[in-house]
Every structure is written in structure tokens, then in C-alpha cells.
């Protein structure tokens, strides 16, 4: 049996294996490979190899805390936290004590960051207050996951103790959401302008998204030099209007993770996949998001009691796949002294 792969694909993998990034056209060629081909597994091996070298074997865990539950009027089709979804009727804000308990648990368990997520109409002032509260209690770096912001608001996030912000131009933006890709991209530029690290994922991927739309967002992540990028698949909550499309498999997501990793080249400090699973850890991913509190993929008020995967389980999966979650974070290697100073 011959184990040779297509010379064209071999050339792309050789180029990607040097961590210089690959072109949009080359990424499209990889995205169209048969899922069970030799070329696809060679692609995944290449992405895995460069990540293990570049990220020094580190398994990253950024602890997601959804700090409020509210029926959001923006009605993004893929989100369970919307008025149209009809799942959440009451407005719930987790208390400072509960958020601090989660944050301390994350810190003691070796989490590398706290990712604070809010719904679209949540008070920005309250998010800042939560950031200030946490910076005085824990040394774990804070990442905001909130609405589009302007420069003044970005500076206020920094002043409140946040070192980064998660933000994505979503697949189907403007159709499945009421926002435009241009508006989302302007916010990404704000992060760069004010000195916040930009965290990203190509999401939420479903079978209805064509390869060109997906690859364009991979290229966007490299262009704007995301601290991390990767791939998140859409999870269909009960009654989701997206259920008719189905969902991509973890193996399909792993192939996309690998393509994204080669596109990113030497830019990222980590590469993510969500929800946590093993396959993508052999395809260039090293970053998981353990979850508690609100989640747009769950019908439970606290996803830690629903489909959210816990910190200990994330660490275990990484260890089983040869990633060490106890090594220092690569994402915040230049933030350590600053974070410690803020905490003190």
C-alpha cells in the first residue's frame, strides 16, 4: 500500500509546517480534502507538530464564567440566551460571592485566564465593577467577552484590570445576527489600539457555512494577529432554529482546527477548540474553555450543571493527549508581572 500524498497538498503542508502561514487559496484546498484521506491526517499531524513546538507542550485552560442570564433582544439565531429562544424568562445576575467562588476555584485549579461573558444588553459599568473586584482577589488574567465597544470603553476595560477581550466576527453575521461584520471588525481594531489582547475563534460553525466564509474568518484572525484563534462548532440547544441544519462532527472540527492553525502560522500564543474534546488536540489545538454560569449553548442557568465541561476534566483530557496544563501560559507570558502587581 502506498502512503504517498498528493504533491500539491504535500507542498502546502511543507509551507505550513515552517510556521509562515498559508494563503487563502491553499487553505481552501485543505478544507476541501476528503475527511478520511491520507492528506487530511497528514494535515492534522502537521498542525499538531507545529503547535506542540510553538506552544512548548502547554495545555491552556481559559475558564468561562457567564455572569448573567437574560433574554437578549438581539436574537442571534444560534444562541439560547435570546428572547426568541424562549428558554430563559427571568433576569438572573450571579452574585459577586458566586463569581468570586468560581474565580478562586479556577485559580486554585490552575486555570490560565478568566473569561467573563455577558449578554448583549448587560450593564458595561457592572462588568467593570466585576473586573475591579476580581483583580483585587485573584491574580488570574481577566478577559472580557462582551458587546462591541469604542476606544474609551476599551481603555476602561484596561483600567478595570482586563488584559484581553474575546470577540468574533461570527459566521452568518448580518443574517443570523443583527450585526455587521464591519462593526465587529471595528471593535477588534479598538482592542489593538488601546492595548487589549484580542482573543478569537471561528464560530459558530455549522454544515450550512461554505468553506470560503469559514476560511475568510481564519485569514481575518491572522491579519489582525489574534492572541489565539481556532474553531468552535455550533451546538443546537433544544428548539434552536438552526436544528434543521444539523451539526458538524468533532472530526470535521478537528480538520478545520488544523487548517486554521496553518493559516495562523507564527502569530498565535495558543490555538483553541470548543467544546472540549480529544480529536482537535491532535490537530493543532491546545486551548480549552471550561465553563460555568450562563452559556449560549445550554438551556441550564448554570452550564456547570448542564453541558459545560469542568476544569478538572479539561485538564485530564489534555494530559491524556500529551499536553501539560501545569506549564506556564504562553498567552500571558508578558502580563505576569503586571497581573501580579494589579492583584497586590
pLDDT in tens, 54-104: 999 999 999 999 999 999 999 999 999 999 999 999 999 999 999 999 999
Q: What is the pLDDT of residue 2?
A: 54
Confidence of residue 341 (pLDDT cuts 50, 70, 90): very low
Q: Is the residue at 291 inside a domain? A: yes
| Torsion 327-330-335-339 (CA) sign | negative
**Set of cell numbers at residue 15:** 509551507
Asked whether residue 336 carries a pLDDT value surpassing 50, the answer given is: no
Range of the domain at 208: 8-343
Domain contains 3: no
- Tell me if 115 sits within 8 A of 162, measured CB to CB: no
Any domain includes 271? yes
Total domains present in the chain: 1
Q: How far apart are CA 342 and CA 144, in angstroms?
A: 16
Q: Which residue has the cell 453541558?
A: 307
Q: Are 314 and 285 in contact (CB under 8 A)?
A: no
| Residue found under cell 461573558 | 117
Q: What is the CATH number of the domain that holds 70?
A: 3.20.20.70
Q: Which residue reads 477581550 in cell numbers?
A: 165
Residue 1, domain member (yes or no): no
Is the pLDDT at 151 greater than 90? The verdict is yes
Could you tell me if residue 2 is inside a domain? no
In a domain, 286, yes or no: yes
- State yes or no: pLDDT of 343 exceeds 90: no
CA distance 215 to 25: 9
Q: Is residue 201 part of a domain?
A: yes
Residue 251 binned pLDDT confidence (cut-offs 50, 70, 90)? very high
3-class secondary structure, 287: strand
- 59 domain-assigned: yes
How confident is the model at residue 334, as a pLDDT?
57
Residue 108 pLDDT class (50, 70, 90 cuts): very high
Q: What is the pLDDT of residue 327?
A: 98
Confidence (pLDDT) at 39: 98
Cα 219 from Cα 335, distance rounded (Å): 26
Stretch 283-298: mean pLDDT, rounded?
Answer: 98
Average pLDDT, the chain: 95
Q: φ and ψ at 80, to 5 degrees?
A: -80, -15
pLDDT band at 338 (very low <50, low <70, confident <90, very high): very low
* Chain Cα centroid distance, residue 16: 22
Residue appearing with cell numbers 443574517: 175
pTM summary value: 0.95
Amino acid at each position: 500500500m502506498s502512503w504517498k500524498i498528493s504533491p500539491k497538498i504535500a507542498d502546502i503542508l511543507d509551507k505550513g509546517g515552517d510556521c509562515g502561514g498559508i494563503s487563502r487559496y491553499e487553505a481552501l484546498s485543505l478544507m476541501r480534502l476528503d475527511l478520511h484521506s491520507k492528506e487530511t491526517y497528514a494535515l492534522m499531524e502537521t498542525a499538531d507538530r507545529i503547535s506542540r513546538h510553538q506552544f512548548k507542550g502547554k495545555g491552556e485552560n481559559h475558564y468561562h464564567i457567564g455572569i448573567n442570564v437574560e433574554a437578549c433582544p438581539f436574537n442571534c439565531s444560534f444562541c439560547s440566551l435570546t428572547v426568541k429562544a424562549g428558554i430563559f424568562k427571568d433576569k438572573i445576575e450571579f452574585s459577586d460571592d458566586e463569581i468570586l467562588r468560581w474565580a478562586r476555584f479556577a485559580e486554585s485549579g490552575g486555570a490560565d485566564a478568566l473569561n467573563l461573558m455577558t449578554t448583549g444588553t448587560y450593564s458595561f459599568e457592572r462588568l467593570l465593577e466585576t473586573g475591579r473586584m476580581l483583580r483585587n482577589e485573584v491574580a488570574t488574567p481577566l478577559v472580557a467577552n462582551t458587546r462591541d465597544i469604542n476606544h474609551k470603553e476599551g481603555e476602561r476595560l484596561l483600567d478595570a484590570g482586563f488584559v484581553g477581550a474575546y470577540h468574533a466576527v461570527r459566521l452568518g453575521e448580518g443574517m443570523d445576527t443583527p450585526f455587521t461584520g464591519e462593526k465587529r471588525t471595528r471593535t477588534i481594531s479598538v482592542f489593538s489600539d488601546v492595548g487589549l489582547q484580542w482573543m478569537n475563534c471561528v464560530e459558530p460553525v455549522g454544515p450550512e457555512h461554505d468553506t470560503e466564509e469559514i476560511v475568510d474568518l481564519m485569514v481575518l484572525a491572522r491579519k489582525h494577529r489574534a492572541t489565539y484563534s481556532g474553531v468552535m462548532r455550533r451546538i443546537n440547544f433544544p428548539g434552536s432554529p438552526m436544528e434543521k441544519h444539523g451539526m458538524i462532527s468533532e472530526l470535521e472540527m478537528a480538520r478545520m482546527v488544523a487548517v486554521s492553525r496553518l493559516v495562523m502560522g507564527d502569530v498565535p500564543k495558543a490555538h483553541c477548540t470548543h467544546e472540549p474534546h480529544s480529536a482537535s488536540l491532535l490537530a493543532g489545538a491546545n486551548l480549552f474553555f471550561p465553563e460555568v454560569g450562563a452559556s449560549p449553548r445550554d438551556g441550564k442557568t448554570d452550564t456547570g450543571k448542564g453541558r459545560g465541561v469542568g476544569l478538572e476534566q479539561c485538564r485530564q483530557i489534555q494530559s491524556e493527549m500529551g499536553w501539560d496544563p501545569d506549564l506556564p501560559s504562553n498567552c500571558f507570558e508578558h502580563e505576569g508581572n503586571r497581573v501580579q502587581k494589579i492583584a497586590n
